[in-house]
Amino acid sequence: MSHPSNAPTSTSDDDTHVSWSSPQRQIQFSQWLAELPADLGLKPDTLRLASADASFRRYLRVESARGSLIIMDAPTDKEDCKPFVQVDQLMQQAGLRVPEVLTWDQNHGFLLLADLGAKTLLQSMDLTGEPPLTQYLEAVDMLIQWQLASKPDVLPPYDAALLRRELNLFPQWYIAQHRKVTLDDKQTKVLEEAFERIIENNLSWPSVYVHRDFMPRNLMVSQQGMGVLDFQDAVYGPITYDIASLMRDAFLTWDEEFCLDVTIRYWQKARKAGLPVGDDFGSFYQGVEWMGLQRHLKIAGIFARLTLRDGKPQYLEDTPRFIHYIRSTCSRYMALKPLLRLVEAIEGIEVPTAFVFGKF
């Protein structure tokens, strides 16, 4: 879930300054590199690690006659690059700025890509100052452009089965494995009923192309304009998803006023463009909140799994953000109050009892 520029450069001492998972993988890479067209003018001695993300993919940066290029290293036994290439083409057709695939070794999982630059939107922002409204509105315009290109039966459906599988990561990994809490029958019922309500609400919205991680960490800024990365998990699903992802970020939090402002502007632009966001902003905003709730329950489970199964503990540092999002949304809707109480019990949060005097 990160761009190549987000991680430190490798300090390995081998001949390419990059360490490999196995000697065989290094041999495969060296052979692929040697067979690339000479007119690319690659400079192997400039190869360095750019970043690794939450999956088994990692990215390398190398200089060439045409400037800096990115290499995706995605072992085929762990990663399927076909969705990345497919969505890359769809986004190009929609007029979005994405990394051009220059060459692809399907047998071994090496891709040579154009480099969209060294700075993400997240890295370019002054988080101590005013929110960057202009850049967020540029992201909104790009999102609408992507959604307007939507067609059914092109990308996998974001259906009830997938939404439920994602939600189940929360009890499986966050509650049971991370918090070490065993739910009783009553608590399990509360969770299951909340999940059904969330899924029903999410699927009540029309479907469009969904990036699934449309946030500043995956948006690139440069003089050529804003670009987008990390789109290989794109699906065809609720129109509420990507704006929820943008404004309820997994890695930073803005004031509610700013989130509301940008979401209103998105809704107005989307409605004017003919996208199915409805005629009532209040209803749409509720849909965004419920979609964001599904996302944050899922991410809490994923980040716990990354820590406990994959040895990447840095992701759980953002857990308090997700719990805050979850509690804030649940507190605004009566149907979600049982889930709110359950989450507070799991977190050990004591809420003062409010006493009301008078007749009922």
Say if pTM beats, i.e. exceeds, 0.85.
yes
* Dihedral angle computed from the Cα positions of residues 212, 213, 215 and 217, in that order, rounded to the nearest 10 degrees: -170
Lowest-confidence segment of 178-182, 289-293, 306-310, 312-316 by average pLDDT: 312-316
The predicted pLDDT at position 128 comes to: 83
- CATH T-level assignment (fold) for domain 121-347: Aminoglycoside 3'-phosphotransferase; Chain: A, domain 2 (3.90.1200)
**57, 194, 268, 331 from 111: Cα distances, Å:** 11, 42, 39, 46
Instruction: State both tokens at 356.
Output: 């009301």
CATH 3.30.200.20 range(s) for the chain read 4-114
CB 215 within 8 A of CB 249: yes
Beta pairing, strands 58-64 & 227-228:
unpaired
Does residue 321 carry a pLDDT above 70?
Answer: yes
- Mean residue pLDDT across the chain: 90
Q: Who's near 169: CB < 8 A, 6+ residues apart?
A: 297, 298, 300, 301, 302, 304, 305
Work out the average pLDDT over 29-38: 93
Does residue 161 carry a pLDDT above 90?
Answer: yes
pLDDT tens digits for 92-124? 999 999 999 999 999 999 999 999 988 899 999
Give Cα 279 distance to the centre of its chain. 28
CATH 3.90.1200.10 range(s) for the chain read 121-347
pLDDT tens digits for 256-311? 999 999 999 999 999 999 999 999 999 999 999 999 999 999 999 999 999 999 88
**50, 99, 229 from 223: Cα distances, Å:** 21, 15, 17
- 302-315: b (≥16 Cβ within 10 Å) or e: bbbbbbeeeeeeeb
CB 234 within 8 A of CB 89: no
Q: Which of 338, 341, 246 is nearest to 291 (CA)?
A: 246
How many percent of the chain have pLDDT more than 70? 92
Bridge-partner residues for 64, per DSSP?
A: 67
Helix residue spans in 36-182 (DSSP H): 82-93, 121-124, 133-148, 160-167, 169
Hey, is 144 helix, strand or coil?
A: helix
Bridge-partner residues for 70, per DSSP?
A: 61, 113
Does residue 3 carry a pLDDT above 80?
Answer: no
Q: Which of 121, 115, 118, 117 is nearest to 101 (CA)?
A: 115
The predicted pLDDT at position 53 comes to: 63
Which band of pLDDT confidence, cut at 50, 70 and 90, is reported for residue 52?
low
HSE value, Cβ hemisphere, 13 Å, CA-based, for 2 = 19
- CATH T-level assignment (fold) for domain 4-114: Phosphorylase Kinase; domain 1 (3.30.200)
The predicted pLDDT at position 21 comes to: 79
Which band of pLDDT confidence, cut at 50, 70 and 90, is reported for residue 154?
very high
